[in-house]
Chain A
């Protein structure tokens, strides 16, 4: 026996809400996100509870967890070479700051050596780059 089923009508899916949500997600990611921030040499900067507006400096020096200093490449540089770069770029003459992207596991001895070398090179202000993390309510 043949049963005649009533023919279903295909309703078109309304795509506008979907597009709206996707656009909202894109806007959220664009506003809240930042470009990729991995530092070369797998440097993990220190965590800071104080938020200070981050301003990039004209010269950045990296201090790895191995207590070695790096400029743009992967080859470690001596403090004398970094001082020479400071002189080349005229950072000290213009009274500009030098940024230190230091790994949180590096030792203070390297930090002090850098401070001393930069002071000798005529650099006054040094900015240590940190990662802001708001204090947890139940945290330390």
Chain B
């Protein structure tokens, strides 16, 4: 036996609530997010702990509070430092670089030097106290 069902009327879906929700979501994400991309600078273990003691002598880079850089005691520009670092890395990829910042130098300056070394291909960069800042009470 065939039953005749009453035909359903198709009702138009209201688009206004959908658009409201979409705009709310858009506002939420626009306000709740930002476009910062984080990165990180890796500090190798200090000398003498066995982590990065390579074959070559470590390169000592001193960083003054003013931002001036010394390479093994001789004043160099940041570009010269990068060139020298790249030259050392060509011969020894595991070359250790020891950055010795002055106590009053800012973290941004230290990160800047580490950036330059990283750009030159350095994989092992560590920090040590500048010899003039060593507190004898530590010994």
Binding site for B on A (CB under 8 A): 15, 18-19, 22-23, 25-26, 29-30, 32-37, 45-55, 63, 97, 99, 102-109, 111-112, 115-116, 119, 124-132
Question: For A47, A105, A108, A127, which residue has the most chain B Cβ atoms within 10 angstroms?
Answer: A108
> Among B3-11, B15-23, B68-76, B88-96, which stretch is in contact with chain A?
B15-23
Q: When the two chains form their complex, are residues A22 and B26 in contact, meaning their CB atoms are under 8 A apart?
A: yes
Output the nearest chain B residue to A113 by Cβ-Cβ distance: B129
Q: Please classify the interface of chain A as helix (H, G, I), strand (E, B), loop, or mixed, using the class held by over half of its residues.
A: mixed
CA distance A106 to B111 in the complex (A): 12
Output the nearest chain A residue to B108 by Cβ-Cβ distance: A104
Q: How far is the CB of A32 from chain B (nearest CB, A)?
A: 6
CA distance A91 to B51 in the complex (A): 16
Q: A111-B101, A127-B40 are in contact. Are A49 and B115 (CB under 8 A)?
A: yes
Interface size class of B (residues with CB under 8 A): 35 or more
Q: A46-B108, A108-B105 are in contact. Are A22 and B36 (CB under 8 A)?
A: no
Tally inter-chain residue pairs, CB-CB below 8 A.
163
| A126 contact set on B, CB distance < 8 A | 42-43
| A109 contact set on B, CB distance < 8 A | 103-104, 133
Output the nearest chain A residue to B48 by Cβ-Cβ distance: A119
Residue-wise, chain B 94-124 has the 8 Å CB interface mask toward A (1 for contact) of 0000000111111111111011001100000
Q: When the two chains form their complex, are residues A106 and B106 in contact, meaning their CB atoms are under 8 A apart?
A: yes
Q: When the two chains form their complex, are residues B111 and A104 in contact, meaning their CB atoms are under 8 A apart?
A: yes
Question: For B29, B41, B104, which residue has the most chain A Cβ atoms within 10 angstroms?
Answer: B41
Q: Which of B45-94 contact A (CB under 8 A)?
A: 45-46, 49, 51, 63
Contact of B34 among A33, A45, A108, A124 (CB under 8 A): A33
| B42 contact set on A, CB distance < 8 A | 52, 97, 125-128
Question: For A45, A107, A131, which residue has the most chain B Cβ atoms within 10 angstroms?
Answer: A107
Q: When the two chains form their complex, are residues B49 and A107 in contact, meaning their CB atoms are under 8 A apart?
A: no
Q: When the two chains form their complex, are residues B107 and A48 in contact, meaning their CB atoms are under 8 A apart?
A: no
6 contacts between A and B (CB under 8 A): A26-B26, A34-B35, A37-B38, A48-B41, A49-B119, A54-B37
Output the nearest chain B residue to A23 by Cβ-Cβ distance: B22
